[in-house]
Amino acid sequence: MECSSFIILFYIFALSIFAGYQVISRVPQLLHTPLMAFTNAISGISLVASLIVAGEGLNTVSSLLGAVAVAAASINVVGGFLITDRMLKMFKKRGSSRP
């Protein structure tokens, strides 16, 4: 990696932190558990990296490591979104049938 591309990636990182702060600080205490389940699901984005390692076909060791990583990350993606969905469906207001 060149220094210039590191700087660009760092800009992306800093901007995301900033944008994330803007939206996350508005999440009410009511929804903090769903927020954790939600960020847990999107942290399964490491699935993207795991897919590349598992599918690169370089050698058995790295394919195996990659496959275990794919399994671990996809548990978070699948389980994380399912449980967030289940949780958010429970939050109801009186007199409304929809969450």
Partner 1 sequence: MNFYNYLAGLDLRGAAYLITPLIASILFLLGLRGLSRAESAHRGMRLAAFGMLIAVVGTLLSRSIVSYEWILGGLVVGTVIGIPMGLWIPMTKMPERIALSHSFGGLAVALVGVAQYFNYYRQLGPFDAGAVSFEVLLGTITFTGSLMAFGKLMGVLPGRPQTFTGQNAMNLGILAAALAIIVILIVRPDQQVLFYTLVSIGLLLGVLLVVRIGGPDMPVVICLLNSYAGLAAAATGFALNNPVLIVCGALDGGSGFILALIMSKAMNRSFQNVIFGAFGATVQQKCEGEFCSLTPREGTPDDAAELLKFANSIIVVPGYGMAVAQAQHAVRDLADLLEKSGADVKYAIHPVAGRMPGHMNVLLAEANVSYDQLYELDAINDDFQRTDVSIVVGANDVVNPAAKNMPGSPIFGMPILNVDQSKAVIVLKRSMNPGFAGIENQLFTSPHTMMVFGDAKKTLAKIAAAMKN
Q: How far is the CB of 85 from partner 1 (least distance, A)?
A: 6
Which run of H or of E encompasses 31? Answer: none
Q: How far is the CB of 60 from partner 1 (least distance, A)?
A: 9
Q: How far is the CB of 31 from partner 1 (least distance, A)?
A: 5
Residue 5 binds partner 1, judged by CB under 8 A = yes
Site residues for partner 1, 22-81, by CB under 8 A, read: 23-59, 61-81
Q: Rounded to an integer, what is the distance from CA 85 to the centroid of its chain? A: 15
Residue 97 binds partner 1, judged by CB under 8 A = no
Q: How far is the CB of 11 from partner 1 (least distance, A)?
A: 10
N-to-C CA span, the chain: 47
> CA-CA distance, 47 to 50, in Å (whole number)?
5
* Interface size with partner 1, residues (CB under 8 A): 85
| Residue whose tokens read 């009410």 | 28
Query: Which amino acid, residue 99?
Result: P
Q: Which residues contact 63 (CB under 8 A, 6 or more apart)?
A: 53, 54, 56, 57
